[in-house]
Structure 1
Amino acid sequence: MSKTHPVIVALGMFDGIHIGHRALLCHTCKVAKQNGWQSAVYTFYNHPKSAFGAEPKLLSTVEERRSALLALGIDNIRMETFDSSIALLSPQAFVERLLSEFDMRAVSVGFNYAFGRNRQGSAHTLQTLGEKYGFKVFVVQPITLMQETVSSTRIRELIENGQVCAASKMLCAPYSLTGIVEENRHIGASLGFPTANLKPSPDKLLPKEGVYITNVLHNACAYTGVTNIGRNPTVAGKTTTIETHILNFSQSIYGQELKVEFIERLRDETCFSNRHELAEQIKRDVNAALIWQRKKAGCRLAQCADTIV
C-alpha cells in the first residue's frame, strides 16, 4: 500500500478471527476513524511455525481470514510469507521494516504479542520502540469466556477434542470447513443416506473424528446435515473422509463448493457388526439433527413474535 495515508496497523496472525481478535480489530478501526487514519493489518500467509519445519493446522484459510478482516472494516491488508529472512529480524529491525512500508502512526496488538528473532520482542518492547520512532502502541487485554482466556491455541484444542460448541462461542461463529464435493464409494447412498464427500483445504484443522450435527451451505441456501469425520470402519474404509448427509436434499453437487458448519458432536465413530446396524444408527443421528432443526426453527419463530410485539 502507499505511504501517503497515515495508518494504525494491527499486528498478528489472526487465525480464526476469534472474539479476542475482533475486540482488537474493532478498536483498531475505532482509533483510525477518530484520527482520520486508515486501518491496516500486517499478517502472514503461513503460520510462523511453518518456517521451522512444523506443519500447524489452521482455523482459517488465507481467503477466510481476508474476507473476515474486510467484513470487520479493515481498510488495508498486508500479507507476507513468514520465512527465515523475517524470522531472523531483531525486534527493532522488524519495526523498521513496518515503518518502511507504512506511514505508521500507531500499532495495536494483543496482550501476548511476540515478534522478532526467537520471539524476543513483546508488547512492552513495542512501546519502547514506539517512543523512539514516534508511533503510539495500543495493547488490547485478553478476552475471557467460560472462565478461559480466548486464544487460537485454545480453540484448536477444543476442536481437536470435538468440543465444537465451545469453540464456536469463542469464534463467534460455527467452526466450518469449505471445499469441493468429490465422488467416493457411494456407501451412504447404498444405505439410504447419500452423502457429499468434502475435500477441504489441507491446511485446515479437522474436528475430532466422529459424527456431528451440521449446518450446510450450498449456493446461498442453508440445510441441516449429519457429518461423519473418520475412516468408516464398518465398510473397511482406509482414509479419513468428511461425509455429510444433507437432509431433504437430492441435488447432484459433484464438483461444486460446499460449506459445512459444525454445530454439535453426537458420538464417536463406531465399527458396527454389519451395514444394517450402521443404517439404524444413521437413522438415529438424522433424528437428532431433525430435533435440532425444529428447535432452531422454534427459536426463529419466537424471535419473530418478540419483534412483532
Structure 2
Amino acid sequence: MRVVRHLEDLEPAPSVVTVGAFDGVHLGHQALIGQVVAMARAMGWRSVVITFFPHPAVVLRGETPFYLTSPEEKRRRIARLGVDVLVQMPFTRETAQIRAADFVERLVRIGMRALWAGPDFAMGHRREGTLAVLEALGRQHGYTVHVALEFHLGGQPVRSSRVREALRRGDVRAAAELLGAPFAVSGEVIAGAGRGRQWGIPTANLAIWPEHALPANGVYAGWVDLPGGMRCMAVINIGVRPTFDQGSERTVEVHLLDWSGNLYGRRLTVHFIERLRDERRFPSAAELVAQIHRDIARARTILEAAPLRTPVEEPEQGSDLPAGGLPAGRR
C-alpha cells in the first residue's frame, strides 16, 4: 500500500475512493473499505482511502482526543484490507473551509470514478456536501456515488463511539467484538520504580501517546508483541498504583509471562483480551504480591485457551506520532 499526505502527491488514475476519519478501523469501517477494494479490483481501478489527522472534531469543536488508533496503527490496519493508496491528510482550520465542490474537483483530478460512503456521510465546509449534493456533482464530473449499508452488531450500528464507551467500562471483550480484533496500544519501554523486579515480578513500563484511548483502570490479561516477531502472554496494569503512588498519573505496566530480558527503549504492542479485576489499594506489599500471582495464574489460563492469531505487530521504531509526541515526563 502506498501512503501519501496530500492528494497532489497522486498521479491521475481511475480510482474508487472513500473518505472518513476511520478511527479504530472497526467492523463498519472494514465493511465499507472492503466494498471499495472489491469494486476497484473488479473494474481494474485503484482503491484510495482518504483519512485525516487530527480528527476533524478536535479541530472544529475542540474535543479532547482519545484516538482508538495512532496514525501508524491506522495505516497498518488499512493496509491489511488490501487498499492500494492511503492518503493521510493533515486536517486544519483551512481544510475545514474547503467547499464540497472544490474538494470533489480535487478528487476528480486524481481520477475518481466512484465514491463510497456511509448513509450519514457529508463532506466539505459545514458538511454541505451531502449525499444528494455529491450525486449531483457526480453527474457533472462523471463519477458514481455508492452508499454502504450501516454495519450492525448486537442490533446497533458499529461506531467508534461504542468502542470508546466499552473501553471506558473496561469491557475489552466488547471492544474487540466491535473492532474485529482485540484493542491494542503501542508504547516505548521506559524506566519505572523497579518494585516489580524486587519482588521477582518485573514489569515493562510503557510510555503511551497521551491522546490514545485506554481501557478503564484495572488489571487485564493480554498478549504483547515484542521486537523480532515474538509474542508473549502478559498481565497488564493500567492505573495510578494506589498501594504506593496515590494521586499519581496513569501508567501502563506489563508483566510478560515466561520471558526475561532488557526492553528499554523498544516499542511493544499490547493486545487486551480480558479484564481480570479493578485496580485497588492493598494494605501491604505482601498482599499485593500475592494478588499479582493470582492474576498471573488466571491470565495464563485465559490466554492459553485464547491464542491470538493475528500477525505479530512490530511498531516502527521512532513512531510517527505528531510533532511534540509525549510530554517530557512520559518520554
Q: Normalised by the size of structure 2, how large is the TM-score?
A: 0.85
Distance 1:70 1:256 in 2: 23
1:186 aligned to 2:190? Answer: no
Q: Give the one of 216, 222, 227 matched to 1:214.
A: 222
Q: Secondary structure at the match of 1:58?
A: coil
**Residue 191 of structure 1, CA deviation:** 2.8
Q: Can you list the C-alpha shifts for 1:57-111, whole angstroms capped at 9, x where unaligned?
A: 11111111112222211111112111111212232233223224x1111111122
Q: Secondary structure at the match of 1:204?
A: coil
Distance 2:156 2:138 in 1: 31
1:227 aligned to 2:239? Answer: no
Q: Which residue matches 1:66? A: 75
Distance 1:74 1:296 in 2: 29
User: Structure 1 counterpart of 2:239, which letter?
Assistant: G
Distance 2:63 2:56 in 1: 9
Q: Secondary structure at the match of 2:306?
A: helix
Distance 2:234 2:132 in 1: 47
Distance 1:60 1:106 in 2: 27
Q: Give the one of 198, 201, 214 matched to 2:209.
A: 201
Compute the RMSD of aligned alpha carbons: 1.8
Runs of at least 5 residues in structure 1 that lack an aligned partner in the other structure: 301-309
Task: Answer yes or no: is the 8 Å Cα contact 1:191–1:275 preserved in 2.
Answer: no
Q: Which residue matches 1:34? A: 42
Q: Which residue matches 1:285? A: 295
Q: Give the one of 105, 110, 114 matched to 1:106.
A: 114
Distance 1:133 1:158 in 2: 42
Q: Secondary structure at the match of 1:235?
A: coil
Distance 2:96 2:219 in 1: 40
Q: Which residue matches 2:264? A: 254
Q: Which residue matches 1:295? A: 305
User: Mean Cα displacement is larger for which, 26-35 or 63-72?
Assistant: 63-72
Q: Give the one of 85, 88, 95 matched to 1:79.
A: 88
Q: Which residue matches 1:303? A: none
**Residue 243 of structure 1, CA deviation:** 0.3
Distance 2:304 2:89 in 1: 45
Q: Can you list the C-alpha shifts for 1:96-138, whole angstroms capped at 9, x where unaligned?
A: 23224x1111111122222222223333332232223221011
Which structure 2 residues correspond to residues 140-159 of structure 1 after superposition, within 5 A? 140-159=148-167
Q: Which residue matches 1:129? A: 137
Which structure 2 residues correspond to residues 258-277 of structure 1 after superposition, within 5 A? 258-277=268-287
- In the TM superposition, structure 1's runs of 4+ consecutive aligned residues that sit over 6 Å from their partners are none
Distance 2:180 2:146 in 1: 23
How many residues are paired up? 298
1:242 aligned to 2:252? Answer: yes
Distance 1:58 1:79 in 2: 15
Distance 1:124 1:262 in 2: 41
Q: Which residue matches 1:305? A: none
Q: Normalised by the size of structure 1, how large is the TM-score?
A: 0.91
Distance 1:104 1:4 in 2: 9
User: Structure 2 counterpart of 1:255, which letter?
Assistant: G
Task: Answer yes or no: is the 8 Å Cα contact 2:222–2:236 preserved in 1.
Answer: yes
Distance 2:11 2:144 in 1: 17
User: Structure 2 counterpart of 1:293, which letter?
Assistant: L
Distance 1:79 1:207 in 2: 26
